[in-house]
Chains A and B, each alone.
Chain A
C-alpha cells in the first residue's frame, strides 16, 4: 500500500513539475526539458503491464491537457513505455524471473546511461516530429530533439544523484 501511495505521489509531482515549471522555461526561446518521462524509467518492472501502460497513457494525456497538444505527449509516452522492456533485455540482460528484483539504482552506470539516453531520444524524436507535423523543417526537428534531450538528461541525472540516499 505504501508503495502505491509513493508511486501516485511521484506521478503527481512529475506532472505538476512538468506543466507548471518546466513547460515555462523556454531556454534560448524554445528549449524545454520533458522530465515527466522519468516515470517510465523508474516504474518497477512487472510481469503484468496493463497498469503501467495505462498509467503512462494517463500521464501523457494529463500533460497534453495542460499544454494543448492533442495527444502527442500521450502517444510518445506509451510508445517508450511499451518498448521499455526490449531495452531492459538488451542493456541489462534480464529475464522474466529477475523483474521483481530489478532496480535502476543498483545497476552499472554505463548500462543505465545507455538505457535512459535511448528512451529519451526516441520519446523526443516522436514528440517533435508530431509537434512539427509536416515534412518541412526536418532539421529543426532533429536539432530540437538533440537540445531538449540534453536538457532532460542533465536534469534526470542531477535529480537521481541528488535524491539518492548515501550509504
Chain B
C-alpha cells in the first residue's frame, strides 16, 4: 500500500499529463467519425455567437460580390422558367393540390466560419434545429454543392465540407449518367476526385459532373464541376480530377436541402437488408 502511494506521489505530474493526453486523443478520434463528435465542435453557442459577430462585420465588405452572385442566380432561374413556359400556355396550367407531391424543401442560411486548407475541413452555418435543420442534409449554393450537415445545435450547425477526406458523395456525368464516388485527396481546394467510374464511361476534359439522385441526401442534378484531368494509364479505380464550380475559399449564403422522403426511403432500404 505504501509502495502504491509512493508511486502516485512520485509520478503524479506524469499521470495527470497522461490523463489529459488521453482525453485529448479521445476527442480527436471522435471528431473524425461522421456525426459522433458530440462535444468539441464550433456549433456551440459561444463560438457560434462569436463567429456570427465576426461574419456580420466582414459581410459588409463582400456586398458587391454577393450581389453579383445573386443576380447571376436569378438570371439562371429566369432562363429555366422561360424555357418551361415555351411548352405550355399560361391559362392551361392547373395545379391539382391532391396530386402535388413535393420532395425537397430549401432553407436559407449563412456561413459564419469557413475552412479549406486542412485535410479535414468543417464549416459552421448560422441555422440549427430551430430552423428545421437536422443532421445529414445537403448544403449547396447557387454554383454547386458544398457539403453535408454534421452536428446540429439549436442555433448553429456544423457542416462537413466536400473538402474533407471522409466525404463520400454520389456523383455522375451529366451527359451519360455513369456514376461514381466523389472524394477529396486533401491537396488542392479547387479540385476534387471522382473515382469508381466504369471503364467504358466516355470521359472528356470539360465534361460537367453533377450529383446523382441515388442518395437520400442530395437531389438530382446539382452542379459540382468540370473534368480537368483524366488518367489514361491502367489504374484500378479510374480516377478523374474535377475542377469545382464553387470557389470554396469565398462562400457566404447557402441553402440547406431537406429530403421529405428520407425516412420512407431509409425504412424501405432497411427492410431489404433484413
Interface residues of A (CB under 8 A from B): 19-20, 26, 29-30, 32, 49-50, 53-54, 57, 60-61, 64-72, 74-75, 78-79, 82, 130-133, 137, 140
User: By the criterion CB–CB under 8 Å, are B47 and A66 in contact?
Assistant: yes
Q: A20-B50, A133-B120 are in contact. List 20 more A-B contacts (CB 8 A).
A: A19-B47, A30-B117, A50-B16, A53-B13, A60-B24, A61-B27, A65-B40, A66-B47, A67-B115, A68-B42, A70-B27, A70-B32, A70-B40, A74-B20, A74-B27, A75-B24, A82-B14, A132-B119, A133-B165, A137-B187
Cα–Cα, bound, A36→B265 (Å): 48
Is B37's CB within 8 Å of the partner chain A?
yes
Is B59's CB within 8 Å of the partner chain A?
no
User: By the criterion CB–CB under 8 Å, are B42 and A71 in contact?
Assistant: no
User: By the criterion CB–CB under 8 Å, are A70 and B31 in contact?
Assistant: yes
Q: A-B pairs with the 9 shortest C-beta distances? A: A70-B31, A71-B27, A71-B24, A30-B117, A70-B28, A75-B24, A74-B24, A68-B122, A71-B28
Decide yes or no: A78 and B27 within 8 Å by CB, A65-B44, A67-B42, A131-B118 being known contacts. no
Cα–Cα, bound, A61→B37 (Å): 14
User: By the criterion CB–CB under 8 Å, are B54 and A71 in contact?
Assistant: no
User: By the criterion CB–CB under 8 Å, are B16 and A71 in contact?
Assistant: no
Q: Which residue of B lies closest to A32 (CB)?
A: B117
Cα–Cα, bound, A103→B249 (Å): 42
Q: Binary interface profile of B, 16-28, with partner A (CB < 8 Å = 1, else 0)?
A: 1100110111111
Interface residues of B (CB under 8 A from A): 13-14, 16-17, 20-21, 23-32, 37, 40-42, 44, 46-47, 50-51, 54, 113, 115, 117-120, 122, 124, 158, 165, 186-187, 189, 249
User: By the criterion CB–CB under 8 Å, are B119 and A57 in contact?
Assistant: no
Contacts of B17 in A (CB 8 A): 53, 78, 82
Partner of B40, one of A61, A130, A133: A61
Quote the shortest CB–CB distance from A52 to chain B (angstroms): 10
Decide yes or no: A78 and B54 within 8 Å by CB, A65-B44, A70-B29 being known contacts. no
Cα–Cα, bound, A82→B41 (Å): 26
Quote the shortest CB–CB distance from B226 to chain A (angstroms): 21
Decide yes or no: A78 and B117 within 8 Å by CB, A53-B13, A64-B40, A70-B30 being known contacts. no
Contacts of B13 in A (CB 8 A): 49-50, 53, 82
User: By the criterion CB–CB under 8 Å, are B20 and A53 in contact?
Assistant: yes
Quote the shortest CB–CB distance from A125 to chain B (angstroms): 16
Decide yes or no: A72 and B44 within 8 Å by CB, A50-B16, A132-B119 being known contacts. no
Cα–Cα, bound, A69→B37 (Å): 10
Contacts of B37 in A (CB 8 A): 70
Q: Which residue of A lies closest to B54 (CB)?
A: A20
User: By the criterion CB–CB under 8 Å, are A26 and B117 in contact?
Assistant: yes
Contacts of A53 in B (CB 8 A): 13, 16-17, 20
* 29 A-B interface contacts by CB (under 8 A): A19-B47, A20-B50, A20-B54, A26-B117, A26-B249, A29-B189, A50-B16, A60-B24, A65-B41, A65-B42, A65-B44, A67-B42, A68-B41, A68-B42, A68-B122, A69-B28, A69-B118, A70-B28, A70-B31, A70-B32, A71-B28, A72-B24, A74-B20, A74-B24, A130-B28, A131-B118, A131-B120, A132-B119, A133-B119
Q: Which residue of B lies closest to A140 (CB)?
A: B187
Contacts of B25 in A (CB 8 A): 71, 75
Q: Chain A CB within 10 Å — which of B24, B40, B44, B187 has the most?
A: B24
User: By the criterion CB–CB under 8 Å, are B40 and A78 in contact?
Assistant: no
Quote the shortest CB–CB distance from B183 to chain A (angstroms): 13
User: By the criterion CB–CB under 8 Å, are A71 and B26 in contact?
Assistant: yes
Contacts of A26 in B (CB 8 A): 117, 249
Q: Which residue of A lies closest to B124 (CB)?
A: A68
Quote the shortest CB–CB distance from A77 to chain B (angstroms): 9
Quote the shortest CB–CB distance from B212 to chain A (angstroms): 28
Partner of A71, one of B31, B51, B118: B31
